[in-house]
Amino acid sequence: MSSGLVFSANSSVSNESALDKETNPTFSLDDDDAIKQWMRQTVATRFHLLGTCKMAAESNFGVVDNELNVYGVKGLKIADLSMAPGIVAVNTMNTAVILSEKAADIIIREL
């Protein structure tokens, strides 16, 4: 769980407007217990999260291919907003409907 925080801390932020304030953890990035404690106390969301299992090439950190198949797991598909390749600039309901229609087409075709 903490590896994402360490990765982010070592990467540059591409969208400064996405940050409410700068956070400056007072621990070493080598201290997993301190990182987990900081995350429990600090991390929160205010947005409709999506894209946690994004559709992309496996080499580009994708989890799902263009037929909704989960890489490395035979017979498992993902058909929800977690497969979105990234954040969208519209209400997530529109995106959910579009992805659901596409998922239905793919699944029906495979029956």
The residues that are catalytic are: 48
- Rg, the chain, Cα only: 17
CA distances in angstroms from 32 to 7, 76, 102, listed in the order given: 13, 32, 41
Sort 9 into a burial class: Cβ within 10 Å, 0-12 / 13-18 / 19+. Answer: exposed
